[in-house]
Structure formats: structure tokens, C-alpha cells
Chain A
Amino acid sequence: MSEECSGAHGESFDAFYARTVPVLRFIAHVRFRVPLADAEGLVQDAYLRYVRDSASVREPERWLVATISNASRNYVRDHQREVPMPDGADGWEHPTARDDVDAISTRLAVSAVLRQLAPRCRDVLYRFHVNRESTAEIADALETTPAYVQLLLHLCRKRARALYLSLTKVPR
């Protein structure tokens, strides 16, 4: 790719794409729940538009994030019958605030870590953190004891956290 449409700080377009594409997919598919194939289409449209207009784009990453947010919102509005509007989506701000984009990056890193866990670990953590099931309810579902679930939760969280810290290692 030419220098003209490289990303920020002189990185190559390929590196810029690799760094930013997960965030764009996250916004389209995870946040706005655009079906994956269509979300990928929107993401590629955004990059294509960026490549063609890169001379007039001053903050490439922010420009792409705002573009994919607009595109996803329009998509959801146009397909309300097939894709129900996620709760509160009308009031969502564009995730252009640096803090929000940083939070998406953290979410992506945590989800990459969870992907590496054993299925049972992931299941227990999901039930506890997302479904808000108590240890007793989880134990019931898994036909084990609450004490064992508590231990499993502790170990799984510890393992996930260690993976996350190694992924985001801070030099000391």
C-alpha cells in the first residue's frame, strides 16, 4: 500500500488495517449486531472509502470508527424487521471518545483471552458474570457443589487474568 493511505505515525497500511479492523468489526457486529457477513461488507466499504479519500482524512482511526458507527446505525435502521434495534441504540453516542475506543480494545483483548480458556472454565465464568447465576445455581446446573464452583471460578479467573496480563505486559 502507498504511503498516502498509511495509518497513523507512519505505520504501513497493512499494520494499520491489522490494528484497527477488530475494533471496526466489534462496533458493527458486536455493538450494533449487524450480521457478520453484512458487518464485514460495511467494514470493507469503510476501508475502501478511506483508501480513496485518505488525502482528506486527518485522523484515520477516528474517521474509520465514526464511519463504521454511522454505517452500522444506518444498516440497523434499514433492516429493523430482520435485525431488531439493540436496546438504547438510538441514544448511543459515537464511540469516538478516546476512552470508549480504548475500552473496545480492552474488551477485544479480554475476549481473546476468554477464547483461550477451556470450555468448562468459559461456561462457569459466563454463567457467573453475564447470566448473574449464583454459585448454587451453577452447581445445580453442572451437578456439582457450590464450593467446587467457587474454586473453579477462582482458578478460571486467575488463569484468564494471567493470560491477559501477559498479553498486555507492562515493561518494568
Chain B
Amino acid sequence: MRDQHPEPEILAEYASDPTNVANRDEIEAHLEACSACGEIVAGARAFERELWNPETWRAVDALAGLPTTPPHKLAAAEEELRVEDAAAAFLLDPVLHDPEVFAGSGIADDPRYDTVGVVRRLNRASAEVRERNATFALTLANAAVLISERLPARQYGTEQIAALRGHAWRERANALRYTGHYPAALNAIEVAAHAFPATTLPEFDLARVDFVRGTILWKMERFDEALPLARRARRTFHEYDDAERWLHAGLLEGGILFDSRQFGEALTIFADLRGRAEANSDGATLGLVYNALGAVNQELGDEPRAAEFFQRALALYDLLGMEVERTRTAWSVGLLALRRDRQDGLARLRRVVASFESQGNMADAGLVALDLAEHLLAWGDVAEVATLCEELIARFTAAGLARSAAAAFAFLRDATNHAAVTPAALSHLRMYFRRLTRDPQLLFAAPDLP
């Protein structure tokens, strides 16, 4: 029996009612070893089940004889899209590689560029360069907005133009977020939010708007407004089974709760993300989840668990060769190590400063140096603190933050010259510079110190 499969009809009879077949024991023994026959039994059971379902019967006549080839309109739309994208690539690719070349191209004033394909290409290019060059991303997004606003709805149809403008304004909001212009980013995302409802099927795009708007509000520390948007976006991304966006909306939701100091709720969210991130996210997102779990466990006082998650993130970044993210995690590990072993923690943080400097990331090098200075001062090592403070000004100037931070520099110089650097002053500076890296327009207010 094990070598010879039962006839499908016998298996179907068995599925219908095991007492219907004479050789039930033999069949059950065979099924234990044969997954293919098990599938037949499962299929026969599914058939029996669906026979009782009124939906099955409604489909019998309702869906009979309908074509399963794409209609002409769909094929024509795809062809139009392909041609416009190819033309846009021909026009734009020579000027997209260099911000100066792009600025000199004058595309915003040239009617040759007034096409849907050009707007789409500019939107994509803006999203691609956002992490590396936020200012250029904003230039590209602004061009996309300008052109999309000029395109005639008569030629492309109201719906397509509405969707295109929504995408362009959303990219502009994203670019403004990266350059730290949060109020302007909020205005831009409002325009996108008003564009999408004019399209037939706006839910997914509105969820993406919620996500961007939630992120901007989070950065502006308007947590109460950000949280429901993050939650709504996560719910919609779940409906659309978009795992990556669902994870990022979850990281946003957890991040808002974390910054609101609701660590227990944040832990629940991050733990919920972990399984799916391990199953099917890209490495970068999984690293973010591990880091978030490390940080929240640290805040909850579970240092061994925090260390475990930071180590997982480190190993992942080593595996993927993600140096910048690895250094950020090493920073968290250094701060954690300080609690157990002062010398080990200091050595780790010094290595992190050096790593950030070698990567040209002077802003983060400065922030780690401030952490280092704060701890050294607490232990009375005043000489090294003075050196670190002197280096800070050079680091944040190199990071392009000198204009907004001028008052902070003056405060720091004054405090260093008068040997009046205190843990409270350093803590205030650290908070300011941390926020300044997220919001480059932020001005410094001197602390009201005793």
C-alpha cells in the first residue's frame, strides 16, 4: 500500500466520510507517509466544504464566460506609460547625476519637459537621493511639483493628474522633512492629502500620506497627533499585505511611544514587528527593529536583553557590510557598557567617535563626543572634557550646522574658558545638538542653570 497510491476517487470517498471506504486502516497508514495523497484528501475536503457555500454557487452563473485577457484600454495605458517613461529617461538621465548640471538645465521653464513621465522620473529620482543629498532631493521634488501643476488635466485625465500631483507633493514633503523644514513639509503633505481623494482608489496613497505626515509630526515632537496617523497607516499597510511599509509604520508607532516615554507599549509594538521582520524584511529594516528592541529594553532596565538585541544588530550589519548603521549600534553598546565597566565603555565610545570621523559623519561624531564628555565630567576627568569641547565646535561646523548652532558654540566657548562646564550644561547641549541633527533650523536657547 505504501508503494502504491490509492485511487483519487477512493481518497475522495475517504475525505467525504472515512467509514465509506473498506480499507480505512491501510489508507490512514498510507496518508501518514504520503504528502501528495494528503493533498488530494485536503482538496476533496475543500471541495465538499465549498459545495455548501452560497458564494460558490453565485459564482457559477455570475462569472461565466468572462474574458481573462487584459482589455485594450489597459494595454494602451501601459504602452503610453512605457513610451513616456522612455522619453523622460532620455531627457532627464543626462542631468540627474549632478545637482549643478540639473540646476543649469532649466527644465522647470522648458515645455519639452511637461510630461507625466518626467514628473514620475523626477519623483523617483528625488526618493533615490533623499538619504544622500536631501537638498538635491528637494530641488528635484520642487521641479516635479512645478511641472505636475502645469500639466493639463484635459490631456491626461483628471484622475491621473490628481494622483501625479499627490505623488509630487508627497515627495516634496519627504525632501523637506530630510532638510529639516518641518512646517513646510507639513504644508506640502497637506496638499498631497487633498489631491488623492480626487482619484478613484485613494486608500493606499492616503496611508502613505498618513505615514509621511506622522513622521513629520513625530520629528516636531507632536506625538499625540502623530500616533493615530502611524496606527492608521500600519492598519492599511496590513490590509494591503505590504510587509515593508507595515514594518516602517510599526517602527514609527513604536518610536512615537518610545519618545513619549511609554516604554511598555513601545516594547509591545517592537516585539510584534520582530517576527515579520525576521521572516521577510530587508536587512536594514531588521536592524532597525533589533536596535529599537535594544533601546526599549535598556530603558526598561533589562540590560542583558538590550545587549542581546544590540549584538544581533551588530552581527547583521557586519554581515551586510553596513558600516554607518554598525557604528550607530556600537554607540548604543558603548553607552550600555559604561554602566557595567567604565573603562570598557569609554574605550568603545572613543572608537565610535573615530569610526564616525572616518566615515565623514562629523555630526554624529560630535554627539558621541558629548556623551563621552558628560560621563568623563561626572567622573571628574576635566582635562579631557575641555579638549572634547574644543573639538566639538570644529565637528559641528564641519557638519554644516554652524549657522543654527552659533549661540550654542558661544555658550560652550564661554563655559570652557571659565572652566564652568557642568554635567547639566553638557546634557542641555547634547539634547540640543541631537535635535539639531534632525532639525537643522533649530536655534539654541541657553539653559537656565544654577
Chain A residues with a Cβ under 8 A of chain B: 1-2, 4-5, 13-14, 17-18, 21-22, 25-26, 29-31, 36, 40, 44-49, 51-53, 55-56, 58-59, 62-63, 66-67, 69-71, 94, 96, 103, 106-108, 110-111, 114-115, 122, 125-126, 129-130, 157-158, 160-162, 164-165, 168, 170-172
Contacts and interface: CB of A to CB of B under 8 A. Distances in A.
B5 to A, nearest CB: 5
Q: Which of A36, A47, A49 has the most CB of B within 10 A?
A: A49
Given A17-B70, A165-B43, A5 B201 contact: no
B240 A5 contact: no
A25 B5 CA distance: 38
A129 B203 CA distance: 38
Contacts of B443: none
A107 B59 contact: yes
B47 A170 contact: no
A60 to B, nearest CB: 10
Given A66-B240, A107-B56, A115-B64, A157 B51 contact: yes
B70 A67 contact: no
Contacts of B34: 172
A70 B203 contact: yes
15 contacts: A2-B81, A26-B55, A29-B63, A44-B74, A46-B201, A48-B74, A52-B160, A58-B243, A59-B243, A62-B240, A63-B240, A94-B239, A108-B59, A114-B56, A130-B57
Q: Is the interface of B mostly helix, strand, loop or mixed?
A: helix
Q: Which of B16, B73, B81, B201 has the most CB of A within 10 A?
A: B201
Interface in B53-87: 53-64, 66, 68-71, 73-75, 77-78, 81-82, 85
Given A59-B242, A70-B203, 11 more contacts: A1-B78, A17-B69, A45-B200, A66-B240, A67-B240, A70-B201, A96-B238, A96-B239, A111-B57, A115-B60, A165-B9
Given A1-B78, A71-B200, A172 B241 contact: no
